């Protein structure tokens, strides 16, 4: 798809720590042609379609560094086409997808198969993590750091054989990985011990409220602290995903700029929004790994995104059917759909006074682009790709089944009223969402493969 020259006029441009009223011009090649007064003299300005953005926020599209779009092999839950469309409706213009599909992306060829499929159907930009296991170190070392976002290591239980619990293999991955290493950190031995104790007490019908005690704060800290220890030993570029406890937040530095860090951290929407009190009403619908924990943990994570200990915010979007999620504790899988509602939830926290809108852009666009060394994205700058989202900060709406775009058809946010509405999303200069519907379909889409300056 080719872009139409477009000029956003009188927008509240949220970019690089400021909110300034001005214009942004998209070129026909899909890049940002000019910002501010330079739009007036640009040669493409006379032919540009104008969009009046008075009172609206124009910001870089969010970049989600952790999703599970379920293709191949689990497409009854979600597909790259459906979930990328939901991402576009949520103002997410790029995603990085995890390797625990069926088959798992444990070889370079299986990884390439996912890229080939995304090139056919993705509404937004894409990258895929190479998976590590106890027996594929040779394939991991073939990873091209310029074309693949990173290597994913499950230091806690996962699907199939992706749990990496062999210390020799972990040492090798941390020492030799050609690119960033992203980790899921939960100590498996601790979880097994806690699970056995819960079964002994409750039998097979363990209450969902036990989830944060089974997948406990101690299990998270033991694994995260080991990952930090390994990274410090080998000078690994380490990124720890979905921090869920107050104690873990203290593992990360905030006395140096994010770009100088070798060890960084991510928080997810559900750990910033929900607490263990919500299990009473939400039940297994908010069962995630790592678990949603206490209000004190949530407040520490919120403090971490404000004080710089936690660097980015993502979704861990992981859809399951409502039938699957409605099972008993041991039957219901962990994970839930989030890409359509993550940015509105963060903007709701702006309305609540939790953080300023400039920080939302920093956490969901600027820093993600910087920490992953993404080429030409994540900022509103001339020459960068025009991945943009237009938001009305004062147009309330309520999440309901009628407006959910996930293939699974449900959301943990159902019934939640958000004050901010996504008015439009542009990917590489092409409008892919108009506030009511997604404008792309397979064979007619705007997403491109992310590349990295490494």
Domain ranges of the chain: 65-371
pTM of the prediction? 0.97
Paired residues of 438 in beta bridges: 433
- Among residues 410, 421, 433, 415, the alpha carbon closest in space to that of 347 is found at 421
Query: Please, which residues have CB within 8 angstroms of residue 197's CB and are 6 or more apart in sequence?
Result: none
Tokens of 312: 């980015």
Query: How far is Cα 182 from Cα 238, in angstroms, rounded to an integer?
Result: 6
What string of DSSP letters covers 221-289? Answer: HHHHHHHHHHHHHHT--EEE-----HHHHTTS--SS-GGG-SEEEEEEHHHHH--GGGHHHHGGGG--S
Backbone angles phi, psi at 154, to 5 degrees: -90, 100
Query: How far is Cα 398 from Cα 31, in angstroms, rounded to an integer?
Result: 33
User: What pLDDT shows up at residue 157?
Assistant: 62
Query: Please, which residues have CB within 8 angstroms of residue 33's CB and are 6 or more apart in sequence?
Result: 5, 25, 26, 27, 39, 42, 44, 382
User: What pLDDT shows up at residue 189?
Assistant: 93
Tokens of 118: 């995304």
- Among residues 391, 448, 444, the alpha carbon closest in space to that of 421 is found at 391
The number of helices, as runs of H, and strands, as runs of E, in the chain is 16, 19
User: What pLDDT shows up at residue 91?
Assistant: 98
CA dist list (Å): 51 to 54, 58, 143: 9, 11, 42
Q: For domain 65-371, which architecture applies?
A: Alpha-Beta Barrel (3.20)
Write out the chain's pLDDT in tens, 454 residues: 678 999 999 999 999 999 999 999 999 999 999 999 999 999 999 999 999 999 999 999 999 999 999 999 999 999 999 999 999 999 999 999 999 999 999 999 999 999 999 999 999 999 999 999 999 999 999 999 999 999 999 987 655 678 888 889 999 999 999 999 999 999 999 999 999 999 999 999 999 999 999 999 999 999 999 999 999 999 999 999 999 999 999 999 999 988 899 999 999 999 999 999 999 999 999 999 999 999 999 999 999 999 999 999 999 999 999 999 999 999 999 999 999 999 999 999 999 999 999 999 999 999 999 999 999 999 999 999 999 999 999 999 999 999 999 999 999 999 999 999 999 999 999 999 999 999 987 677 899 999 999 9
User: What pLDDT shows up at residue 165?
Assistant: 83
């Amino acid at each position: 798809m080719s872009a139409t020259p477009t000029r956003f006029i009188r927008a509240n441009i949220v970019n690089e720590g400021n909110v300034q009223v001005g214009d942004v011009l998209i070129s026909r090649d899909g890049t940002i042609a000019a910002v501010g007064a330079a739009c007036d003299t640009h040669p493409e300005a006379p032919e540009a379609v104008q969009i009046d953005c008075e009172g609206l926020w124009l910001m870089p599209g969010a970049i989600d560094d952790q999703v599970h779009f379920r293709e191949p092999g689990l497409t009854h839950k979600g597909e790259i086409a459906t979930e990328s469309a939901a991402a576009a409706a949520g103002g997410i213009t790029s995603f990085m997808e995890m390797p625990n599909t069926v088959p798992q992306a444990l070889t370079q060829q299986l990884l390439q198969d996912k890229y080939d499929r995304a090139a056919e159907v993705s509404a937004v930009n894409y990258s895929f993590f190479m998976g590590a296991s106890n027996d594929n170190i040779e394939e991991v070392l073939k990873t091209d750091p310029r074309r693949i976002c990173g290597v994913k290591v499950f230091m806690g239980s996962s699907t199939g054989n992706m749990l990496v619990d062999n210390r020799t293999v972990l040492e090798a991955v941390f020492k030799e990985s050609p690119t960033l290493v992203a980790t899921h950190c939960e100590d498996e031995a601790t979880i097994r011990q806690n699970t056995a104790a819960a079964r002994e007490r409750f039998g097979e019908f363990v209450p969902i409220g036990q989830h944060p005690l089974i997948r406990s704060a101690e299990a998270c800290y033991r694994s995260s602290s080991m990952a930090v220890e390994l990274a410090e030993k080998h000078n690994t570029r380490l990124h720890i995903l979905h921090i869920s406890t107050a104690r873990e937040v203290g593992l990360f530095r905030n006395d140096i700029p994010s770009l100088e860090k070798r060890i960084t951290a991510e928080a997810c929407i559900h750990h910033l929004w929900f607490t263990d009190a919500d299990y009473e009403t939400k039940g297994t619908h908010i069962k995630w790994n790592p678990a949603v924990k206490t209000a004190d943990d949530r407040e520490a994570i919120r403090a971490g995104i404000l004080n710089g200990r936690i660097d980015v915010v993502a979704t861990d979007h992981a859809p399951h059917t409502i039938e699957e999620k409605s099972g008993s504790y041991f039957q219901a899988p962990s994970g839930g759909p989030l890409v359509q509602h993550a940015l509105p939830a963060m903007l709701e926290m702006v309305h609540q006074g939790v953080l300023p809108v400039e920080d939302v852009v920093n956490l969901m666009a600027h820093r993600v682009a910087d920490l992953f060394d993404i080429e030409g994205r994540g900022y509103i700058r001339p020459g960068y790709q025009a991945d943009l989202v237009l938001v009305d900060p004062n147009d309330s709406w309520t999440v309901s089944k009628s407006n959910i775009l996930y293939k699974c058809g449900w959301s943990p946010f159902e019934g939640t009223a958000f004050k901010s509405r996504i008015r439009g999303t542009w990917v590489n200069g092409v409008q892919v969402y108009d506030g009511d519907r997604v404008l792309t379909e397979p064979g007619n889409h705007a997403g491109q493969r992310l590349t990295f300056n490494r």
